[in-house]
Structure 1
């Protein structure tokens, strides 16, 4: 049974470690330059909460948008190279603005730039966790952004909403607040008469029939990515508030603004959350029905005998998608063999492989501890 709305939102008010994400449109002018007043208004709210003893991690978009004006670009560039150039110019502008604004309250900031690759590779993942934890211990406000300057299409988060949700899980945050130019999640376009604010989302059933809008001019996210981010965070036991940047103070105070996404109470291991949401399959393994039932239904390891095909180029240790007979991705796992080795193993038992190829081949393609289920299979 859930508590009443006020009691639930009290988790935000009493949280000792909070991740706050702010979108590009909440920080910049229509021309793409940093809006000093907007940045200062946000920092006023965050510094007030920080000075009560709460640890704050700010995940901030805006680097590419901040670079548009200095580069004379009228709109967000489409090609990756120009996006990277804009990020290179804009990131310095953005962090300088935060540094100056937080300094008004005697607070220092530390820049942390991450790529999806930093979450995908376990050693990088642990390093990011240690860095953020140490910054918080030292009283620094970490300002996190995707490293757009070097990120490629293959290793991008694509939006800072998902990054913020993963950071919230990474640092064991008590709450995640997603700030944008939309004050809440509505059951339809909020510009249309009759659209109803969803004050609470307790599960997927509350989103049935809800229309999710697209992104704005300078951002990459949209309501779809925010709901996806909320799903990641709540699945890790972290409550989420989605609202407009103008309502940040009320959201952090636990007031009834925006949309409150209820955590489902589960706390999956960092490893599985990382595998499900911070990785992209480098290839595909096609499974027969028996293998799908074993892996998805009974949580068994994936053996070569149940694999019918392999796609892509990948190395041992890479994440690969596991597909049901009709091609639907149902799971993801860390494979124990290179792609070039697998065709010779397909359809054969591990005992047979051990006898003919050597004992190192007498093992599973993917161990069950390295598999995360993405969809139930029926």
Structure 2
């Protein structure tokens, strides 16, 4: 399976704050230079490369005299404002020495929730790649308040990988992969070389928060792996501190943990539905509905709905839950208020219950639904 990584033509690489910065907030220049050299060499081989880089807030700490990341949102945004300039200047300077051109893209959640913005981002990224430019992407921490934050750059990197239909996503972290248990507390924990299916157990052994410099731990990386593999993209977690780890992974060496892509990948519209649009609410379905949706490719009818949660309107994206687990996401045809009235009823009764003439038979049509494996 590592041969697929070696043959990958379009590669998204995510690097974390703890890899790019020292604990005191100063840039780790040796690691950044090594990363740039490896990315440039991949580009020289004819591969298309996108870098998702954390570190803006971390890079702004030292210039502002902060000893650690401030808790106050405004001060964190101020640090990000300074750090973005420091970081992109360093990247541009180093990449130029290796003959490569870079372009910066700063994103917020809104850039993927709007279908128009999503497609525009996709077109821009494809244009940059065709021009031989290496896009450097980060969340726009300067303006993104909590409501509009993507949340962590592991999720961002998986989102970007899905948008550009990458072959592989490589996450360079401060840990060298997924272990059978927390290696910091269990000396008998062993590295898992390959993961073919992400299960509840996978999340359970993922552990808690990451380093003090970053925002994501192993748990967010497993979520990113789920997004990537469902989009037909292999993902590798490996150490950014290991010498030439990126080059070695791309040569097929068994470093880190490989999450194997699902063969039944989602298409671009499904990717946007599942991972782009904001989830506005939840419907809980019964056995018959879940079986029909998962195994028969059916739409979701009101008769199969047990309960409704959240506040949403027609056209919003909702999560579909069966026995406490998410099985899918889709565009809903009815509001929360209407669903409370028609849940459990046959489609033929909808018009009489709601007192309207024209209705949808389906709560979520199959064409607007994507399964979450």
Match of 1:67 in 2: 60
Equivalent-residue separation in structure 2 for 1:291 and 1:201 (angstroms):
30
Q: 1:87 to 1:238 in 2, by over 3 A?
A: same
Asked if 2 retains the 8 angstrom alpha-carbon contact of 1:18 and 1:56, the reply is yes
Equivalent-residue separation in structure 1 for 2:94 and 2:256 (angstroms):
26
Alignment of 1:1-378 (within 5 A): 8-191=1-184, 193-204=187-198, 207=202, 210=205, 212=207, 214-245=209-240, 246=242, 247-287=245-285, 290-296=288-294, 298-307=296-305, 309-324=307-322, 329-354=326-351, 357-374=355-372
**Which deviates more from structure 2 when the two are superposed, residues 210-219 or residues 183-192?**
183-192
Give the alignment's TM-score, normalised by structure 1.
0.86
Equivalent-residue separation in structure 1 for 2:171 and 2:284 (angstroms):
37
Q: 1:308 to 1:256 in 2, by over 3 A?
A: closer
Give the alignment's TM-score, normalised by structure 2.
0.87
How many residue pairs are counted as aligned between the two chains? 367
SS at match of 1:360: coil
Equivalent-residue separation in structure 2 for 1:371 and 1:362 (angstroms):
15
Shift of 1:335: 1.4
Measured against aligned partners, the alpha-carbon deviations of 1:233-259 in whole angstroms (never above 9, x if no partner) come to: 223222222211232222222223222
Asked if 2 retains the 8 angstrom alpha-carbon contact of 1:331 and 1:374, the reply is yes
Q: 1:151 to 1:209 in 2, by over 3 A?
A: closer
Shift of 1:295: 4.0
- Alpha-carbon RMSD: 2.8
Q: 1:77 to 1:298 in 2, by over 3 A?
A: farther
Q: 1:370 to 1:26 in 2, by over 3 A?
A: same
Shift of 1:218: 0.9
Q: 1:334 to 1:209 in 2, by over 3 A?
A: closer
Equivalent-residue separation in structure 1 for 2:281 and 2:4 (angstroms):
41
Measured against aligned partners, the alpha-carbon deviations of 1:156-185 in whole angstroms (never above 9, x if no partner) come to: 322111221222222121222110122233
Shift of 1:222: 1.4
Asked if 2 retains the 8 angstrom alpha-carbon contact of 1:19 and 1:173, the reply is yes
Shift of 1:346: 4.5
**Which deviates more from structure 2 when the two are superposed, residues 43-52 or residues 312-321?**
312-321
Measured against aligned partners, the alpha-carbon deviations of 1:224-279 in whole angstroms (never above 9, x if no partner) come to: 22232223222322222221123222222222322222223232212223333344
Q: 1:259 to 1:338 in 2, by over 3 A?
A: same
Asked if 1 retains the 8 angstrom alpha-carbon contact of 2:232 and 2:264, the reply is yes
Asked if 2 retains the 8 angstrom alpha-carbon contact of 1:336 and 1:366, the reply is yes
SS at match of 2:237: strand
Structure 2: runs of 5+ lacking an equivalent: none
Q: 1:239 to 1:329 in 2, by over 3 A?
A: closer
Structure 1: runs of 5+ lacking an equivalent: 1-7
